[in-house]
Amino acid sequence: MKLRTLTASLALAAGLGIAPASQALDLGNLAGGLVNLAKAATLSDDDAKTLAFDAAQHMDGQNKIAPPNNPYAKRLARIVKGLDQEDGLALNYKVYLTKEVNAFAMANGTVRVYAGLLDAMTDDEVRFVIGHEVGHVKLGHSKKAMQVAYTASGVRGLAAASGNQAVAQLSASAIGGFAEALVNAQFSQSQENEADTYSVGFMKRHNYPPAAAVSALRKLQALGDGASILSSHPASSERATKVESEIAKL
């Protein structure tokens, strides 16, 4: 059985301190299903993709998605033309019709861009943001967040007491908690820099102007609290400076 577990969802949410208490795990509903600690601490790529699939389905159900004939959807389709695959990962795109300045990518290739980000940025700046989000996936940052959160949670005590890998299926509320935690997972400064560098390479590989990386980061700084993406990807002047250095190397 793949690791589509209520305990993994709780672990990520609890470990990152994101999900509200109403979305936490009710141990009474677990029906005796326990996750093997070693299994959860070494999530396979397939496990991560399965969890991401559930999380993406939840997020899509919670947000208004731009239909294909919508101006936002048409613009994103133009922006990502030719970007169906990246570094072996098949990507699928949708626009959320919300004024939040945000975007995220998941391990199964889900890429979601908020209308507010499209309003705030040029096409090439949006491409940099997409490359950055995909970078977190391809560099293993998202999977590491799952692993760290699990091993830091109290669930490990339960798992250690049993070799049983059978687990309860994710409930709707648990999927919601997991999805919110995943979308809002905060990365370290070094991970942000690595994802920036990845995206500079992404821009170069696809013949987009790398300078858009710098303008995108400067724009996020200027937006400040108006950019929801900053809650999970803190901006800093140092990031923009480092990106300028990476571009100079090219």
Q: Residue 245 has what pLDDT?
A: 86
Of 86, 100, 125, 133, catalytic: 133
- Classify residue 134 as exposed, middle or buried by CB count within 10 Å of its CB (0-12, 13-18, 19+): buried
Q: Which of 203 and 146 is assigned the larger pLDDT?
A: 203
> What does pTM read for this prediction?
0.76
Q: Residue 149 has what pLDDT?
A: 43
The whole-angstrom separation of Cα 121 and Cα 143 is: 28
Helix H, strand E, coil C: the string for 205-232 is HCCCCCHHHHHHHHHHHHHHHHCHHHHC
In 3-state terms, what secondary structure has residue 129?
helix
What is the mean pLDDT of the segment spanning 117-122?
A: 97
The whole-angstrom separation of Cα 243 and Cα 196 is: 7
Strongest mean pLDDT among 32-41, 53-62, 105-114, 162-171: 105-114
Two tokens, residue 190: 């070094």
Asked about 133 being catalytic, the answer comes back as: yes
Q: Which of 80 and 190 is assigned the larger pLDDT?
A: 80
Q: Which of 234 and 239 is assigned the larger pLDDT?
A: 239
Q: Which of 236 and 107 is assigned the larger pLDDT?
A: 107
What is the mean pLDDT of the segment spanning 140-153?
A: 62
What is 79-110 written as a DSSP string?
HTTT-SEETTEE-EEEEE-SS---EEE-TTSE
- Per residue in 201-211, pLDDT tens? 999 999 999 99
